[in-house]
Amino acid sequence: MKSPFPGMDPWLEGHVWPDVHHDLATRFKEQIVPQVVPKYFVRIETYTVEDTSPEEEVGIMYPDVEILKKQPAQTPPLTGRVEENISVLTPATMIIPRPVIEVNIPVVEIRDRENHKLITAIEILSPVNKRGKGLDKYREKRQLLHDDGVHLLEADLLRRGQRPLNYPTLPRSAHYFVMLSRGDRYKTEVWAMTVRDKLPVVPIPLKSPDPDVRLDIGAAFHEVYDRSRYELSVRYGAEPAPPAFSAEDVEWLQEVLKGNKLIA
């Protein structure tokens, strides 16, 4: 089944997002490879970010990783006189430290075949890129890439969190953004979309003087949806996470779902 929406499906921002994220990176790679070979090669690399505030996540469950420390069964000493009817404290069986949750994030990289130099990076933003220390580290990474002259395309298909580039004139009515920062310029091209808009076809810059190639984000997204059959696991009868839509947008979303027989 094809996606019911012309652009981004807000119900995919919840528990299925990690699957969408990884598959979307693969579809991006498949589109770009035939346009850039043999001068360039395209790879999906991953980097790891520690999520310092997983409790803020909405609808995404990380695998449980816990380190358990066994404690000796000792009764803590009590000072003073112990009355006959006073209960003695029971020692804890174990102490569980706060788990360290690490999130693996895929990034599509275009490299020069001759010297393996990174030319262009394509980031599909994860929730951890948009909050807390993860946001700070991601902003540092963006600056390092620009300092190295690397082109950076960012697809922000998540409504929650802070935008890494929070420019004051970005349209507040937009739900999703795609941003292109060319490594040789101090400008950022912005595509802003609401939930009603199609996802854009954008240029992917290479090494000068080679011309840009094209990335059809909408086509990639619809292919991901069609192959993965997300309608089988997404609860369209519930609110998307997070809600944060206007009354008019909610009415439009409900009409689309009813028209596709995903809700009664």
pLDDT at 62: 44
pLDDT at 98: 66
- Inter-residue contact 181 to 188 (CB < 8 Å): yes
Between CA 1 and CA 21 the distance in angstroms is 19
Question: Model pTM?
Answer: 0.83
DSSP state letters, 20-41: HHHHHHHHHHHHHHHHHTTTEE
Between CA 160 and CA 175 the distance in angstroms is 9
The string of pLDDT tens digits covering residues 40-97 is: 999 999 998 887 665 555 555 444 433 333 444 454 554 555 556 778 899 988 887 7
pLDDT at 144: 95
Between CA 252 and CA 230 the distance in angstroms is 20
DSSP strands (E only) in the chain: 40-51, 69-70, 94-95, 101-112, 118-124, 151-156, 176-181, 188-193, 201-204, 213-216
- Inter-residue contact 123 to 158 (CB < 8 Å): no
Which amino acid is located at 115 in the chain?
N
SS3 106: strand
Report the share of the chain in percent with pLDDT over 90.
69
Residue for token digits 């009868």? 237
Left, alpha or beta for 101 (phi > 0: left; psi -120 to 50: alpha)?
A: beta
pLDDT at 52: 67
| pLDDT digits (tens), the chain, 264 positions | 899 999 999 999 999 999 999 999 999 999 999 999 999 999 999 998 887 665 555 555 444 433 333 444 454 554 555 556 778 899 988 887 766 678 889 999 999 999 999 999 999 999 999 998 899 999 999 999 999 999 999 999 999 999 998 888 899 899 999 999 999 888 999 999 999 999 999 999 999 999 999 999 999 999 999 999 999 999 999 999 887 899 999 999 999 999 999 998
- Inter-residue contact 2 to 194 (CB < 8 Å): no
Which residue ranges make up each domain of the chain? 10-61+100-259
**Structure-block tokens of residue 155:** 């697809």
Between CA 168 and CA 182 the distance in angstroms is 20
